[in-house]
Structure 1
Amino acid sequence: MKAIKFGDAVEIWRVRISIKARNVRQRRDRQVPCVMAVRAKKKLHLPEQENDAMPPPPKKNLPAFGVANYMPLQPLTEDDISIQRHRTMMINELRKNSPNPRFIEETMRLTFYDRRRLIVTETATVASVAELYPALFNPYQILFEFQRLTEIDLTESLRGRMREQWRALHLLCQVDIADQSDMDSDEYGEIMMSSGFLLIPALMREQITFDMPLQESTSEAAPSLHFRDASDPSSEGVIFVEKMMICQVSSIIEGFSTWFASFYVFDMSYPKYAKKTLCFIQRGLLGLKDKSKTPLTVLETMRKEANLK
């Protein structure tokens, strides 16, 4: 594990102290009825001049989609002490030569509420989350966290839909469909599904380069995806969030799945340069609907696909 930069360490320590102090203060305040009554009264009877002078609340960079478990309830069996214990045991397990995956999954399940509180309510940085929950930072756990949020197996869902749609995507892009030749059906399917994912940006009229960054970090805060060789369906790649590499991926399909899931997991909006591509994955492949407006290009592509079936 790389050494944490001094600035990140200070930020992590500040967030942890702030969270602990805030939790203690909120618990104590909730136990004093008169304090809660005074706070409620102040909110209802603010002077007009003071109310006008108050700045508007800051806008959270909320994702443009809804999920089933966006803010889960804290399990009745858990409190601050037990959450801290789970985190410590999880980190100790990760240090072993052969960590127990079932133990990691169970502790991640029990601490799911705490991660959502950190990310959504406390707006903790990705570096802070990595310090507290290092087990999250691999493709398997990011996809598992997506499933905790949406109750959808993202890998299976995307593979199933792309298996049905890769041919239509190639036809719409006017790209020749490769001959299966001597390849078995599984290998051929993997190549064509990978190619289908890479064709989506062109269909959405977006110029997205998936090349590896020249430096160890990127300037983009939102999740970004990079491959060593995007022409190879088994190409390795990396995903960056907030200028930090959060995980490595082992194929084109795993890369796109984990990249998409990262927006949900870290509660981030789609960046402008890839908004239509990500919307197409959300609406066209997964069928995930929300109250936001679907880009016209996405709707047109979905209609053309339907006509090809």
Structure 2
Amino acid sequence: MGNYRTKLSRAGIKEVAMNAGKRSRSNPEGAASRANIKRPRRGEVNFLPNYPLGETKDTLETMRLEMVEQFKRTSIERDTVLIHQLMQRTFALRREEIVNSGPPIAELKDRWPGLFSEAQLYTEFHRITNQNLPHSFYAALDKYTPLLLKLYKKKKTGSFAEKMEEVIMAYNVQDKNNITAARTTALAGLPLYLKEDSSEVFKTCKDELEATQEGAVALVAVVDEAEVPAGVPFETHHVSIVLEDQVVMSHRSWTDSLVILFGLIYALHLSYPEKLSGFFEFIQVVLLNLDDGRKQLKPKLQSLRNELE
């Protein structure tokens, strides 16, 4: 396999070539063989593709600049078909920058504004994973929501049992025909069931200015104080999606904002928030079936998965 990978690297296959040049007998000054290894994660089927046939870095950069100019126009004046074509054509250049360099979010917003457009973000997720993110997410969530709510109601012991009971009580006074309320309850109760602290990621505030509060990764829901029973944002004015201390996108719905946040994590090659890693892995493996190749999940996730099957 080592010889095979060497041949692939020399042939210019980027997924292999980016990890070449590590320390070896013939290259004693190189980086350690296990240092800063770049590899696909979380079901990324198009992790680091080569440039399209006939294109170079310079030609793709020209396309990128043309795409940026489109986003400087008003939404009515933009040529959405052209933007889609340019985003598709420059996918390899974009992935090369994101995976190899990991630039700050502010720089990515300037260079690739399309990634912070909801439609283009979902298209980018499809390029990376070959999945329709909102369709797959909500289809699985609606399948598992009744089962999750039953499990939550059975949660009578443990350090999070009291908080879980408050969440269920808040849901019980909602309109049972409101599918959004059920979805929100299923997602908001999941960290409690997994014994994770969601307070640093899922936040609420009454003032829109507070939505810019610091946070590496956060969803900040702007609500009326009386509309946050048990901390579950059933009704929101809007939800701000925060990455690296700045609002990058916003949406009216809390559940839709969560889907967008998950898409951004993939598109920008980010790590899951440490304190909610189990929550996001549940979305990845159980809801979206994006298995990253691990033979076994963490015990608490595997136990929940078994309960739902």
**TM-score w.r.t. length of structure 1:** 0.73
Residue 286 of structure 2: which of 269, 284, 290 is its match?
284
Q: What's 1:83 paired with?
A: 60
Residues 282, 288 of structure 1: 8 Å contact kept? yes
Q: What's 2:165 paired with?
A: none
Does residue 170 of structure 2 align to residue 191 of structure 1? Answer: no
Instruction: Extract unaligned runs of 5+ from structure 1.
Output: 1-29, 31-38
Aligned equivalents of 1:102 and 1:178: distance in 2? 45
Does residue 229 of structure 2 align to residue 226 of structure 1? Answer: no
Give the stretch that moved more between structures: 150-159 or 130-139.
130-139
Instruction: Give deviations 1:195-231, integer Å, cap 9, x for gaps.
Output: 22222111211120211474734242xx322222352
Instruction: Extract unaligned runs of 5+ from structure 2.
Output: 1-10, 12-19, 154-167, 224-231
Q: What's 1:162 paired with?
A: 141
Q: CA deviation at 1:110?
A: 0.9
Residue 124 of structure 1: which of 65, 81, 103 is its match?
103
Residues 70, 83 of structure 2: 8 Å contact kept? yes
Q: What's 2:157 paired with?
A: none
What are the within-5 Å matches in structure 2 for residues 1-309 of structure 1?
A: 44-46=25-27, 58-59=35-36, 64-97=41-74, 98=76, 99-174=78-153, 175=168, 178=172, 188-209=178-199, 210-212=202-204, 214=210, 216-220=212-216, 223-229=217-223, 230-232=232-234, 235-292=237-294, 293-306=296-309
Q: How many residues align?
A: 258
Aligned equivalents of 1:67 and 1:235: distance in 2? 34
Q: CA deviation at 1:114?
A: 0.9
Aligned equivalents of 2:172 and 2:211: distance in 1? 34
Instruction: Give deviations 1:22-47, integer Å, cap 9, x for gaps.
Output: xxxxxxxx9xxxxxxxx98x954356
Residues 235, 252 of structure 1: 8 Å contact kept? no
Q: What's 1:6 paired with?
A: none
Q: CA deviation at 1:78?
A: 2.1
**TM-score w.r.t. length of structure 2:** 0.73
Could you say if the C-alpha distance between residues 166 and 291 of structure 1 is closer, same or farther in structure 2, counting changes exceeding 3 Å?
same
Amino acid of the residue matched to residue 52 of structure 2? P
Instruction: Give deviations 1:91-125, integer Å, cap 9, x for gaps.
Output: 22222231122221111111111110001112222
Could you say if the C-alpha distance between residues 212 and 140 of structure 1 is closer, same or farther in structure 2, counting changes exceeding 3 Å?
farther
Q: Kindly, what percent of the aligned residue pairs are identical?
A: 20
* Cα RMSD, aligned residues only: 2.9
Report the secondary structure of 1:211's partner residue: strand
Aligned equivalents of 2:40 and 2:221: distance in 1? 25
